[in-house]
Amino acid sequence: MEQKFQYVQRLADAPLILGQRLCEWCGHGPILEQDIALSNIALDLLGLARNLLQYAAELKGEGISEDDLAFSRPEKEYQNFLLCELENGHWGKTILRQFFFDSFHYFFLNELKNSKDDRLKAIAEKSLKEVTYHLRFSSEWVIRLGDGTEESHAKMQEALNEIWPFTGEFFQVDELDLLMEKQGVAPNLNSIQKSVQQRVAEILTQATLEIPEGTWMQKGGKSGVHTEAMGFLLAEMQFMQRAYPNMQW
């Protein structure tokens, strides 16, 4: 039970942290329509994180709540992908980060809906409808900006060169992944890697962007080792709960 709790909590961390990052764009989008679209994507991700954290809290017991898991953990206990905590940067960088996550997330949830865990299966089936839209939205924007003006192309290529080393962590497997896969709870990450890579290559080609050379990839998020950006993100996200513990609204 403890291993499943850890796995479900890990699944929640990526959408929780990325949703928090996207919230920073609220009121700052390039046009109102895209501002609202990105805010809605953030809400979808936070809703997914909440569903997973509710389940994790039930598995843990001991009076733990979803809010405790979301806001009261130290940095090293979060196991999100490093990609999700990266600073937003300009609009194109945010969109490219979102595209990479959406590409993985879509195929991952597509497999997770076959889980032997009925609760995870239901969560995946519900979220897949939303993530299908997320992937379409981010893909269209990557193509528009990459194959746009000379300036937008240059900014997207620069962002791609910076973000690319953080994309390999999606497929790094540890003992928890293997255990959950053996129990039929989790998908096989290697089995979806080819589909994700094909989707990414297809969109980047349409966007006239060049995939960086080299195979070295960042890692650490799944083991609780984070970038400097994570501490600042948590300081803001956890402020209310840290300043006023056990406050009742």
108 in any annotated domain? yes
225 belongs to a structural domain = yes
CATH (domain of 162): 1.20.1260.10
Return d(Cα 233, Cα 94) in angstroms, integer: 15
> What are 74's two structure tokens?
């130290």
User: How many structural domains compose the chain?
Assistant: 1
pLDDT value for 106: 98
| Burial (0-12, 13-18, 19+ Cβ within 10 Å), 125 | middle
DSSP single-letter state for residue 89: -
249 assigned to some structural domain: no
42 within domain boundaries: yes
pLDDT of the chain, 249 residues: tens digit per residue: 799 999 999 999 999 999 999 999 888 777 777 878 899 999 999 999 999 999 999 999 988 899 999 999 999 999 999 999 999 999 999 999 999 999 999 999 999 999 999 999 999 999 999 999 999 999 999 999 999 999 999 999 999 999 999 999 999 999 999 999 999 999 999 999 999 999 999 999 999 999 998 778 999 999 999 999 999 999 999 998 888 887 766
Q: What is the pLDDT of residue 34?
A: 81
Which residues touch 107 (CB under 8 Å, ≥6 apart)?
192, 195, 196, 199
In a domain? residue 191: yes
Q: Which domain holds residue 178?
A: 2-243
